[in-house]
């Protein structure tokens, strides 16, 4: 397993900032890494109707300073009545409760369908690059906040 260098000094610099600023910069950096991962997962996801790709999103866990990436099981609300009518006419979208629930079957397989994983292999291939992106964004944020003080 590769060890990422420079985290100790970055952690010391981060602790020098006020707690509220620390949280803001950590969230911003994690979101940048999550966006990169989402883009990669969407590129690797199998496409039938395209619904599953639209449901790959990031979730924030507010109390724990975490950002999770996953597939939402709810459809995003369509912006206007006209857009909804077009979507219904094309028959691309299902009712709200039936989003891309089937991503689990694709990723892990079923008793009758072999697994076609796309999330875990993408994460494994990109995890060091994403970690570096998070570190770079955190360094930028720390410098920006330090210049303000």
- pLDDT: which is higher, 110 or 28: 110
Cβ atoms within 10 Å, residue 64: 8
Rounded mean pLDDT, 119-128:
93
In this model, does residue 83 exceed pLDDT 70? no
DSSP character for 40? Answer: H
pLDDT digits (tens, 9 = 90+) for 27-59: 888 889 999 999 999 999 988 878 888 888 888
Residues 6+ apart with CB under 8 A from 25: 14, 17, 138, 141, 142, 145
Q: Alpha helix (H) ranges present in 6-118?
A: 7-15, 19-44, 51-54, 81-90, 103-108
Which band of pLDDT confidence, cut at 50, 70 and 90, is reported for residue 121?
very high
**Residue 24: what pLDDT?**
78
**Residue 1: what pLDDT?**
47
> Residue ranges of the domains in the chain?
7-148
Which band of pLDDT confidence, cut at 50, 70 and 90, is reported for residue 96?
very low
DSSP character for 98? Answer: G
Distance, in Å, from the CA atom of 15 to the CA atom of 42, rounded to the nearest integer, reads 35
pLDDT digits (tens, 9 = 90+) for 15-31: 667 777 777 778 888 88
């Amino acid at each position: 397993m590769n060890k990422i260098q420079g985290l100790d000094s970055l952690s010391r610099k981060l602790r020098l900032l006020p707690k509220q600023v620390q949280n803001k910069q950590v969230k911003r950096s994690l979101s940048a890494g999550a966006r990169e991962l989402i883009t990669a997962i969407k590129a690797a996801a199998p496409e039938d109707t395209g619904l599953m790709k639209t449901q790959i999103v990031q979730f924030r866990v507010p109390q724990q300073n975490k950002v999770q990436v996953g597939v939402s099981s709810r459809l995003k609300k369509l912006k206007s009545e006209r857009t909804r009518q077009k979507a219904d006419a094309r028959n691309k979208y299902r009712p709200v409760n039936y989003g891309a629930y089937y991503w689990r079957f694709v990723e892990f397989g079923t008793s009758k369908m072999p697994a076609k994983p796309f999330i875990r292999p993408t994460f494994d291939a990109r995890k060091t690059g994403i970690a570096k992106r998070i570190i770079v964004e955190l360094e930028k944020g720390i410098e920006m906040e330090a210049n303000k003080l």
